[in-house]
Amino acid sequence: MIKRIGVFTSGGDAPGMNAAIRAVVRTAIYNNLAVTGIYHGYQGMIEGSFIEMSRRSVSSIIQKGGTILKSARCLEFKTKEGRQAAYDNIKAQGIDALVAIGGDGTFTGANLFSQEFDIPVMCIPGTIDNDLYGTDYTLGYDTANNTVIEAIDKIRDTASSHSRVFFVEVMGRDSGCIALNAGVGGGAESILLPEVNSGIDTLIEELELAEARQKTSMIVIIAEGDKNGGAYNVAKIVKDKINHLDIKVSILGHLQRGGSPSSFDRVLATRMGYTAVNELIKGNSRATVGMRGTKMVITPLEEALNNKEFKLDDELLEIANIMNK
């Protein structure tokens, strides 16, 4: 029977991670389990960076961006020796189950670790990229979308005042989720996504069409992982082809990762943290928590890791086109 849960965040941070930590801690304590916080993810396991968690230690963190347990990427955990050291350390702490909050890499590590050392692990999908299988939404995605939308609204003010074309690059190395949402929600004239090989020609056509409609200002959203080489590069190519355009580039960057989590992310995080602990108590392991519709669901890590969920709704892609045609 589980007596002490270890909780940690790993990989890129995302708004809502603190709310999830809080829910894990409070649900565990409510069920008479002790909780150890592990700093810096897998790195902290290896280095032995632990802290005892109480109800009070997670007070007033639900509204905070980032993660109070810090995060890191950890190469050493990819080695057998690293994982052994980690296991020895958490064993010494009396930790007999884990809740891992993070993305793809975090899940991979959790799965391997759980198999090798037969320790129960539940995962919570925390990444602004929304690129994990097993859930409609990952933690932090909604907040990041709001951050991006607010930035675009501001950029449109100045774009419109000066009749300019803005190329706005948003996060998403492999995933166009933020870009597509921002494109639709921000009313962008064109969107470039890693998943869709639209090419520059389509973009040029869309810009020319917008001009033909007497639009004087335009917003083009470009996902980080777009295959045309990033916002600066695309802007240069377009400028060469339609050189009367007054083009500016804006790379939104890391501010997309921060900020107080939205209502949606806070509630989602709280539900996920609660569910993760309850699943551990029920004896479940090597699985990830998710939300489908309005219900919590559980997916085996194996399944989650072997599937790539295409989260760009085909219909939404079509809608994006129609709205700006």
Contact 111, 30 (CB under 8 A): no
> For residue 124, what are the β-bridge partners?
101
Nearer to a second copy, 227 or 248 (CB): 248
Give the Cα separation of 43 and 46 in Å (integer). 5
Give the residue numbers of the binding site for Mg(2+). 104
Catalytic residues: 129
Give the residue numbers of the binding site for substrate. 127-129, 164, 171-173, 224, 248, 254-257
Instruction: Calculate the alpha carbon distances from 308 to 40, 166, 220, 317 in Å.
Output: 27, 32, 27, 18
Nearer to a second copy, 59 or 197 (CB): 59
Taking the complex as a whole, the smallest distance from the CB of residue 84 to a second copy amounts, in Å, to 25
In 3D, which of 143, 128, 142, 109 has the Cα closest to residue 38?
Answer: 109
Residue 247 backbone zone (phi > 0: left; psi -120 to 50: alpha; other: beta): beta
Taking the complex as a whole, the smallest distance from the CB of residue 189 to a second copy amounts, in Å, to 11
In 3D, which of 263, 241, 265, 297 has the Cα closest to residue 122?
Answer: 297
Taking the complex as a whole, the smallest distance from the CB of residue 122 to a second copy amounts, in Å, to 16
Give the Cα separation of 61 and 63 in Å (integer). 5
Give the residue numbers of the binding site. 12, 22-26, 73-74, 103-106, 127-129, 156, 164, 171-173, 187-189, 213, 215-217, 224, 248, 254-257
Nearer to a second copy, 119 or 234 (CB): 234
> For residue 305, what are the β-bridge partners?
none
Give the Cα separation of 53 and 73 in Å (integer). 23
CA atoms within 13 Å, Cβ hemisphere of 177 = 21
Nearer to a second copy, 115 or 278 (CB): 278
Taking the complex as a whole, the smallest distance from the CB of residue 1 to a second copy amounts, in Å, to 20
